[in-house]
A and B are shown apart, each in its own frame.
Chain A
Amino acid sequence: MSASVRRLALNLSPWVWAYLLFMAAMGLLIDVLWLGTPRIGAVPLMVGLFLNLSAVHSAQKVALWRTLPVSQRQIDLARWQQGAAFPILLFTLMMFVPALLLALAGKLRVAWPFIALMTAAQCGGGILLFGLSVALPAVRDRIGRGSAIPGFLLIFAIVYAPRLFRDSSLEGALEGLAGLGLLIAILLYILAGRWPLPLPVTGWASFWSTPPSENHPSKQAASPGLAGWPALVVAQAPALLLGWCLIPALPLLMRWTLGLAHMDMSFVAASGLLIGALLPTAALATALRALRALPLNAPALTMRLMAPLVAIQIVGAAIYAVTMAWLQPDYPLATGFALLPVAMPALIFALTLRFGPRIAQFSAAIAISLIALGNVFLLYSGFTITQTALLVMVLTGLGFLATLREIVSGRHAYRAQPLVPLSWRGR
């Protein structure tokens, strides 16, 4: 590895290191649990998902990397080191070091060949996802903003793999995953220098970066003659429709592709529900400077921003309830998954204005974590649907007040801007 590639590959910000350490600790915990209790199936595959995300963070830096005296191949090789080599090394250490310690203590419950197979499958899962993130921009340029959907499906597929393979040949699946990952790693290495540029905005915000294919004047829709807020809502319509469509589409696709006919899909559908409003939330929060210049006082502006976002989520919640009643009538409606997303835009909006665009970048992860934990809390607390609705109203109100406070006197509210330009130079 050349010095330049090493410098690029190790150019991780302290907060990314912290994130990696946290994820590594989580992964280590899962691995140790599995080594001592192998009946939990293929849960360690999730570790591969956690750590893959580190490679995505470099996307923000590629704009500067391209101006440095390094070749495109060196840039791609640095990304390969982060997305393939580094996880392989880390997964191996995280699995074999505790395995060795458990073996010495006489508490190892898994055979060494199977440990090696699981480690290879972890690497394979991570590399598979990394390969997807590398290929996604090229796919996106061709088929537009909905191209991230295959990524979501793959994430869910790997997350649900333990259940999928619970009663079938887990070894076979792990071998397949490991082999596929190895093949993709080799392919990516050979093709280094020809990779497409990463998505200019990482995470969920990438939906907002218009693919170059949609930039051509002939592809741009004619103005429908709307002005003011209706025009803004219409401009957000593609993302809203995408989110609403995902509510039934994600669980249906999961069932078709993985054959999980009897599994509870409440959480999968709820993630679709979240997407609809989180995208406009991030876009509006980063555009606050322009919005604040409108002839509106702070409460009026806050109301006009919050009301449509909440309305969008109420429509989404209705779609969610209908979808769940139709898709899985045997399961009770998870009121937490249905209603908590209604409060998320207001909360995420306020957090983005307070803590900057990274919140928008990770808005989906934050919101999903909050509704997952919130749903568990509501279940164990025995909240009725009315009580849940009241809680959601309170949370939304708090989000509204916090947003208003940031708009009036926030120090950072008008500095929230996209992390990187929404399109790459030279494309």
Chain B
Amino acid sequence: MNAVTLTHVERRLGGFALGPLSLEVPRGAVTAFIGPNGAGKTTTLDLIMGLGTADAGGIEVLGFSMPRDEVAIKSRVAYVSPDLNYTAWGKVGRVLDFVRGFYPDWNAARCTQLMQEFGIARGEGIAALSFGARIKLSLVIALARDAELLVLDEPTVGLDVNARQVLFREILDFVKRDDRAVLISSHQLSDLERLADYVALINRGKLVTMGRMDALVGRYVQVDAAMANGALPRLDGIKILDHDGDWCRLLLDRKAIEPSALAARGFTVTSETPMTLEEVFLALVDKP
């Protein structure tokens, strides 16, 4: 059973329309949820967390239906977002004391350990915390419990290198258990490429692609080729990234066409370059 299953979810917010979006987040894995600004990542995560209601479609989280089972879902899901603001509580300790009352699985020792690792103290005033320290506080609150699903919306914003390393270590520890899952949205694609097992790419409210990280990155290849007759190839699975005279740079979807097939069509392949997640992202997402 998947940790999260979205089925034809739709949500309209002002001029923005999300979906219809279908998405599966498997258990025992880290799923990266990526896309350009305004693509609908945060809206999707909000719907998973019950912050707003979908106009259409179904949302199933850990076997429960959102919004019908929102309390059951929220008691099993830990959520981190830079938008969470704790200023009203004044002190770090007060927020922690308040939140822990809602979770029977709250682990005080683990909370203390995380606070030490992230370098924040109970007596600190929240208004005086740096932006990164506020994110760390969100992470402490999320990780000090025995949650089944971590929903992390831009958790690395403002974090220093040390804190990022602590976070990644915690995430990897978290998914060692097969019944747990992590859904993480971030623009730090190089981090995600190393961390995530699956990736879902969204653009303009629509899912562009989803699959295993290695399969997605391996599926696409960048090819530089010389054109025999000066005509650009117009084939399924080929995206023209750049061209100049007889030279062209192509993105090949190996699922549709292998680089070797280009030779049969009169192209001389001069180089094949494996792609990073960031390059795949840039190639698949249309420039605004």
Contact = CB atoms under 8 A, between A and B. Distances in A.
Contacts of A421: 83, 85
A63 B52 contact: no
Interface string B195-213: 0000000000000000000
B15 interface: yes
Interface string A394-427: 0000000000000000001001000111001111
Nearest to A70: B71
A106 B85 CA distance: 53
A191 B127 CA distance: 35
Contacts, number: 88
Contact of A420 (B51, B81, B88, B90): B88
Contact of A67 (B42, B84, B94): B84
Nearest to B43: A426
With most chain B CB atoms within 10 A of its CB, the pick from A4, A67, A217, A357 is: A67
Contacts of A64: 84-86, 95, 99
Contact of B102 (A57, A63, A70, A425): A70
Contacts of B72: 69
B205 to A, nearest CB: 15
B106 to A, nearest CB: 12
Given A61-B88, A70-B74, A215-B14, A7 B98 contact: yes
A236 interface: no
Contacts of A216: 14-15
Contact of A426 (B51, B79, B86): B51
B14 A212 contact: yes
Contacts of A109: none
A386 interface: no
Contacts of A72: 70
B258 to A, nearest CB: 44
Interface string A346-363: 000000000011000000
Interface in B37-54: 42-43, 46-47, 49-53
B15 A217 contact: yes
Contacts of A215: 14
A218 B14 CA distance: 9
Contact of A63 (B15, B53, B84): B84
A14 B84 CA distance: 21
A13 B15 contact: no
A427 B52 contact: yes
With most chain B CB atoms within 10 A of its CB, the pick from A4, A61, A64 is: A64
B90 A14 contact: yes
Interface in A37-90: 57, 60-61, 63-64, 66-72, 74
Nearest to B45: A425
B15 A66 contact: no
A57 B79 CA distance: 24
Given A13-B90, A71-B71, A63 B46 contact: no
A68 B88 contact: no
Given A7-B98, A420-B85, A426-B46, A66 B51 contact: yes
Contacts of A15: 90
B101 interface: yes
Given A356-B127, A426-B52, A68 B90 contact: no
A11 interface: yes
A212 to B, nearest CB: 7
A13 B89 contact: yes
A288 to B, nearest CB: 15
Contacts of A14: 90
A69 B15 contact: no
Nearest to A215: B14
A420 B52 CA distance: 18
A60 B51 contact: no
Interface in A196-222: 212, 215-218
Contacts of B43: 426
B56 interface: no
B83 A60 contact: no
A216 B86 CA distance: 29
Contacts of A7: 98, 101-102
The 9 A-B pairs with the shortest beta carbon distances in the complex, nearest first, are A426-B52, A426-B51, A69-B75, A60-B88, A69-B74, A426-B46, A216-B14, A425-B51, A68-B102
21 contacts: A13-B94, A61-B88, A63-B83, A64-B84, A64-B95, A68-B102, A69-B72, A69-B74, A69-B102, A70-B102, A72-B70, A215-B14, A217-B15, A218-B15, A415-B127, A415-B128, A421-B83, A425-B42, A425-B46, A425-B81, A426-B43
Given A67-B49, A69-B102, 10 more contacts: A13-B89, A13-B90, A69-B71, A69-B103, A212-B14, A216-B14, A218-B15, A425-B46, A426-B47, A426-B50
Interface of B: 13-15, 42-43, 46-47, 49-53, 70-75, 79, 81, 83-90, 94-95, 98-99, 101-103, 127-128
